[in-house]
Amino acid sequence: MTSSGGDIAMCRATRVVARSIDEELSAHGLSVAQHLVVKMLNDVGPCSQQELSAQLRVDRSVMVGCIDGLEDSGLVRCERHPRDRRAYAVTLPPNAGPALTEAEGGVPQLLDRAFGALTAAERRTLTRLAGKILDVS
């Protein structure tokens, strides 16, 4: 396979997986960016919008809309930041945990379908290589 063919295959594979994840999460009223925000807040606690943008590599203008949508659906709250009174922290209300669990419920099966052509060893290799790409970017 030529480099061009490999590049095209990588782009197409990425789109297939991204589209599948979009469909799974949209069934739960979430975009991929919103899912990442809720997941990060669940894992690390309250963050400013700037912290979320930087850590998730989501443009600030996109992050504002993402947070607004989550706030409208009751999955996040914006409150004064505990360490910086000039800033606001995005926090999770108690109902966000169960909503996150429900939204993620179908993801393992979705990934199994998306990567079903790969052996377990190939999936581990792909995971390692994807991690390498993310560490560089």
pLDDT at 4: 65
On whether residue 134 sits in a domain, the answer given is no
Task: Give the integer Cα–Cα distance in Å for 104 and 98.
Answer: 10
pLDDT tens for the chain, 137 residues long, are: 445 677 888 888 888 888 888 888 888 888 888 999 999 999 999 999 999 999 998 899 999 999 999 999 999 999 887 777 787 899 999 989 898 898 888 888 888 888 888 999 999 999 898 888 877 65
On whether residue 128 sits in a domain, the answer given is no
On whether residue 77 sits in a domain, the answer given is yes
pLDDT at 1: 45
On whether residue 31 sits in a domain, the answer given is yes
pLDDT at 137: 57
**Residue 77 to residues 7, 26, 43: CA-CA distances in angstroms?**
41, 21, 16
DSSP state, residue 29: T
On whether residue 68 sits in a domain, the answer given is yes
What domain count does the chain have? 1
On whether residue 136 sits in a domain, the answer given is no
CATH number at residue 41: 1.10.10.10
On whether residue 120 sits in a domain, the answer given is no
The domain containing residue 28 runs over which residues?
Answer: 3-105
**Residues with Cβ < 8 Å from 32, sequence gap 6 or more?**
18, 21, 22, 25
On whether residue 90 sits in a domain, the answer given is yes
